């Protein structure tokens, strides 16, 4: 089954909000807002996106802590250096390296998480119009071919400047 995407272009924010409302009335809750200007999340009435970015630094910190502990403890146990009856495992130097490993793991996994949550790289961008970077606002809906006619009619009712369509293979 193939999914079809349509992109409705609006010249200002007010008409884009009306377009989003019309899409909701037509039964389309899942649409994407494309804009060249930053607007707060939910400004067009779109569904809030659930981010899982907070998981990545936690996993990275745990991995970094584990590697730091294994590295310092493993090195001290593999090459024991008994000095004046002191214990083989010295905690103060281990704490420093473990802290640095924890921070490095958290930072690296955060970068990976940002790339992953931003859905990058995106080999196929789908529908786009250059005018979006010039101030137009785009509302993109992807749905089955049977339902896409209702979305197109909703965008026409909202007085979209232009409506573009594209069919692509769905999963």
Tokens of 56: 């990545």
Half-sphere exposure at residue 76, Cβ-oriented, CA atoms within 13 angstroms: 18
For 111-154, the pLDDT digits (tens) are 999 999 888 887 777 788 899 999 999 999 988 888 899 999 99
Domain boundaries, the chain: 2-50+137-166, 55-117
Tokens of 107: 């930072």
Q: How many residues are listed for the chain in this entry? A: 171
Taken in order 21, 43, 115, 140, is the CA torsion positive or negative? positive
Q: What pLDDT is attached to residue 51?
A: 86
Per-residue confidence band for 169, with pLDDT thresholds at 50, 70 and 90: very low
Q: Which helix (H) or strand (E) holds 96?
A: helix 91-117
Per-residue confidence band for 63, with pLDDT thresholds at 50, 70 and 90: very high
Architecture of the structural domain at 2-50+137-166:
2-Layer Sandwich (3.30)
**How far is Cα 18 from Cα 30, in angstroms, rounded to an integer?**
16
Q: What is the DSSP letter of 54?
A: T
Q: What is the pTM of this model?
A: 0.68
Q: What pLDDT is attached to residue 20?
A: 93
Per-residue confidence band for 158, with pLDDT thresholds at 50, 70 and 90: very high
Q: What pLDDT is attached to residue 171?
A: 43
**How far is Cα 59 from Cα 22, in angstroms, rounded to an integer?**
42
Does residue 1 contact residue 14 with C-beta atoms inside 8 Å? no
Whether the pLDDT of residue 81 is over 80: the answer is: yes
Nearest residue to 96 via CA among 131, 72, 122: 72
For 8-50, the pLDDT digits (tens) are 999 999 999 999 999 999 999 888 899 999 888 888 888 777 8
């Amino acid at each position: 089954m193939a999914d079809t995407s349509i992109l409705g272009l609006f010249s200002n924010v007010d008409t884009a909000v009306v377009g989003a409302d019309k899409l909701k009335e037509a039964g389309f809750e899942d649409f994407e807002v494309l804009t060249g200007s930053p607007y707060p999340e939910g400004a067009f009435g779109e569904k809030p996106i659930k981010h899982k970015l907070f998981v990545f630094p936690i996993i990275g910190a745990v991995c970094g802590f584990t590697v730091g502990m294994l590295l310092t403890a493993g090195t001290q146990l593999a090459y024991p250096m008994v000095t004046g009856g002191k214990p083989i495992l010295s905690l103060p130097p281990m704490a420093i390296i473990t802290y640095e490993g924890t921070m490095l793991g958290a930072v690296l996994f955060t970068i990976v998480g940002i790339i992953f949550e931003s859905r990058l790289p995106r080999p196929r961008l789908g529908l786009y119009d250059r005018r979006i970077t010039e101030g137009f606002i785009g509302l993109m809906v992807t749905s089955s071919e049977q339902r896409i006619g209702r979305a197109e009619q909703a965008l026409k009712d909202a007085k979209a400047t232009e409506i573009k369509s594209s069919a692509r293979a769905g999963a």
